[in-house]
Structure 1
Amino acid sequence: MKNILFIIAAYFTITLVSCRKEPFTEFPDYDKNWLAMEDNPNDPAIHANFQFYKETGIPVFVNDTIGSQQRVDVFGKSYTYYEVLSLSYSLGGLQSGPPPVVQSFTYCNKADVPNALSFLRNEIIPVIKGNIHVPSILLVENMSTNAFGTYAYKGFNTVVVAQVSKISTMSTATKADYKAAILRSMLTNAVLDNKYAGILDKFYAVSRKFVTTRDAYGLATYFLNSTNVTGLPSGTPITLQAIGFLGPDARISSSSPISTWLDVSMYIEAAMVNTDTQFKQKYAAYPNILLKYGYIRQILNDMGIN
């Protein structure tokens, strides 16, 4: 009897508690899509960027801090969260050596934004449209990187495009280099897709087959001798170009590219700055470079990048 009364009492207690209205806690939208642009007709630069976003689906920013939000930490204390574009990115990681980074940058003048958008609209979008996903673009003025020069850099969720005030005064040759750097930063991830793993393995093997004692990637130039490099035609000078590299690693001038994806990046940029005929004429003395170029060209053609 005592147990029955206890059960009845517990039942009524649970019923009373369950009938009380639970307080509703509204959480901030922590999963907000920060890359979805909002218009500001009162700011000509932001309005122009928004129009570009509507046309292309690519958000363009002039500040790496793209939004803020009031949040509450685990201790119940309110704070302001700032969403910042991530400029550092090393695809696949690196086994050794310094990772590619943006060392410094300065914000651009908003007055230069329309001209930069016009360049992107006329020179870049027709090449990548419908083929390549670009998460966002950050327009800046000066930029310094330890691997990819001063024109363009692929971050985690943005492509940094620099030198925007100088676009209108660039020579034809400089503008071609500029365009190639931007396209390289946008295309590398797509070229390195698993879909092309078989072709890329052949690309890497071109240089690796000549180096018998160690990996061809990250090869210090003092190893470029007949002890470590074999298989080249008799009388061929043993150089990075002879075994299929366009040049040394951008961060370590005394080494071949220390990662396969940097090698791919260098080839993409070279393919974008030259026509097919120009590339083949430029590297006619290096059959292994032409062989690797053929593999990259095969991938680009499949992607619709001509």
Structure 2
Amino acid sequence: MRNILFVAAACFTLTLVSCRKEPFTEFPDYDKNWLAMEDNPNDPTIHANYQFYQETGIPVFVNDTIGSQKRVDVFGKAYTYYEVLSLSYSLGGIPSGPPPAVQSFTYCNKADVPNALTFLRTEIMPVVKNKIHIPSILLVENMNTNAFGTYSYKGFNTVVIAQISKIPAMSETTKADYKGAILRSMLTNTVLDAKYASILDKFYAVSRKFVSGRDAYGLNAFYLSASYIVGLPAGMPYTYQAIGFLGPDTRITSSAPISTWLDVSMYLEAALVNTDAQFKQKYAAYPNILLKYGYIRQILNDMGINN
């Protein structure tokens, strides 16, 4: 009997609670797509960037803070939320070694944006359009990174392109380096896709087969000796290039590239800076570099990127 009374009381309580009118809270659009550009005909820079967005589907920004929104926290206190492009990213999802990072950057002059957009239209978009997804582009002036130089960097949801004021005065050689760096930052994640895993395994194996007792990746320069390097032709010096690396890690110069993805990035940029003939001539003395280059070229050709 006691159990029946308890159940009845509980049901009565639930009925009272359900009859009480709950306040309705209408939340703002917290899931807004911040990368969807909006036009502003009164701002020539925004309007030019919006036209590029309409043509390519890629939003272009000149400030890493791309929007704001009035919000209310869980305590009912109003605050302003700022959406900021994320420049932190571990390429390929592999956080080995010191993570690549933008150490500093400065905003560009809006007057330099038209030349940057022209360069993107004529030099970059014909290579990548309809082949890969580029979430956004951030145009800046000066930039320093710990792994990828001063031209271009792949962040989480943006590709940073620097030194845009210098584009008109660039020599053909500098422009080729600049273009290669931008394309590398745009293409690396696609090249590292699981689709190409079998080819990349062969790429990594080229250097690994020459190192005994440890991994070729992250190999300290101390181990570049006959005690650890095996299988090289007689008389060939024990160097990173001899075992198939373009050079040491871009962050730790006394080590081979710590990460496989950095090795891929270095090859990718070199392949995009040079024509096929130029690359083969430059590294003619290093058959293992040419072998690894062949695997990168195989991937690029599959993506429809030929240069």
RMSD of aligned alpha carbons: 2.0
* Closer, same or farther: CA 11–237 of 1 in aligned 2, 3 Å: closer
Name the counterpart of 2:237: 237
Name the counterpart of 1:36: 36
Q: Which deviations, in whole Å up to 9, do the C-alpha atoms of 1:46-91 show, x marking residues without a partner?
A: 1100110010000000000001111222222221111110111112
* Closer, same or farther: CA 155–7 of 1 in aligned 2, 3 Å: closer
Q: Does 1:117 align with 2:132?
A: no
Query: Cα offset for 1:36?
Result: 0.7
Name the counterpart of 2:96: 95
Query: Cα offset for 1:20?
Result: 5.6
Report the residue type matching 1:68 in the other structure.
Answer: S
Name the counterpart of 2:160: 160
Moved more, 20-29 or 252-261: 20-29
CA distance in 1: counterparts of 2:267 and 2:5, whole angstroms: 82
Report the residue type matching 1:132 in the other structure.
Answer: I
Query: Cα offset for 1:244?
Result: 0.3
SS at match of 1:261: helix
Name the counterpart of 1:293: 293
SS at match of 2:210: coil
Query: Cα offset for 1:7?
Result: 8.4
CA distance in 2: counterparts of 1:256 and 1:41, whole angstroms: 51
Name the counterpart of 1:201: 201
Name the counterpart of 2:267: 267
Q: Does 1:48 align with 2:48?
A: yes
Name the counterpart of 2:183: 183
Query: Cα offset for 1:3?
Result: 10
CA distance in 2: counterparts of 1:269 and 1:155, whole angstroms: 17
Report the residue type matching 2:117 in the other structure.
Answer: L
* Closer, same or farther: CA 13–252 of 1 in aligned 2, 3 Å: closer
CA distance in 1: counterparts of 2:9 and 2:201, whole angstroms: 73
Report the residue type matching 2:61 in the other structure.
Answer: F
Q: Which deviations, in whole Å up to 9, do the C-alpha atoms of 1:276-302 show, x marking residues without a partner?
A: 111111111100000000000001111
Q: How many residues align?
A: 305
Query: Cα offset for 1:31?
Result: 1.2
CA distance in 2: counterparts of 1:269 and 1:48, whole angstroms: 29
Query: Cα offset for 1:94?
Result: 3.0
CA distance in 2: counterparts of 1:158 and 1:53, whole angstroms: 14
Q: Which TM-score applies when normalising by structure 2?
A: 0.94
Q: Does 1:248 align with 2:229?
A: no
Q: Which deviations, in whole Å up to 9, do the C-alpha atoms of 1:152-188 show, x marking residues without a partner?
A: 0000110000000010110010000000000000000
Report the residue type matching 1:113 in the other structure.
Answer: V
SS at match of 1:180: helix
SS at match of 1:111: helix
Report the residue type matching 1:268 in the other structure.
Answer: L
- Structure 1: state its 5+ residue gaps: none
Report the residue type matching 2:215 in the other structure.
Answer: D
| 1:205-216 map, 5 Å | 205-216=205-216
Q: Which deviations, in whole Å up to 9, do the C-alpha atoms of 1:242-299 show, x marking residues without a partner?
A: 0000011111111111100000000010000111111111111100000000000001
* Closer, same or farther: CA 268–7 of 1 in aligned 2, 3 Å: closer
Name the counterpart of 1:60: 60
CA distance in 2: counterparts of 1:18 and 1:295, whole angstroms: 66
* Closer, same or farther: CA 302–2 of 1 in aligned 2, 3 Å: closer
Query: Cα offset for 1:9?
Result: 8.8
Moved more, 26-35 or 113-122: 26-35
CA distance in 1: counterparts of 2:137 and 2:151, whole angstroms: 13
Report the residue type matching 1:286 in the other structure.
Answer: Y
CA distance in 2: counterparts of 1:206 and 1:148, whole angstroms: 24
CA distance in 1: counterparts of 2:153 and 2:236, whole angstroms: 36
Q: Which deviations, in whole Å up to 9, do the C-alpha atoms of 1:228-252 show, x marking residues without a partner?
A: 1000011111110000000111111
* Closer, same or farther: CA 115–10 of 1 in aligned 2, 3 Å: same
Query: Cα offset for 1:131?
Result: 0.6
Report the residue type matching 1:93 in the other structure.
Answer: I
Report the residue type matching 1:95 in the other structure.
Answer: S
CA distance in 2: counterparts of 1:244 and 1:12, whole angstroms: 78
CA distance in 2: counterparts of 1:285 and 1:266, whole angstroms: 18
| 1:127-142 map, 5 Å | 127-142=127-142
Query: Cα offset for 1:24?
Result: 1.9
Report the residue type matching 2:95 in the other structure.
Answer: L
CA distance in 1: counterparts of 2:274 and 2:159, whole angstroms: 22
* Closer, same or farther: CA 5–129 of 1 in aligned 2, 3 Å: same
SS at match of 2:143: strand
CA distance in 1: counterparts of 2:4 and 2:266, whole angstroms: 80
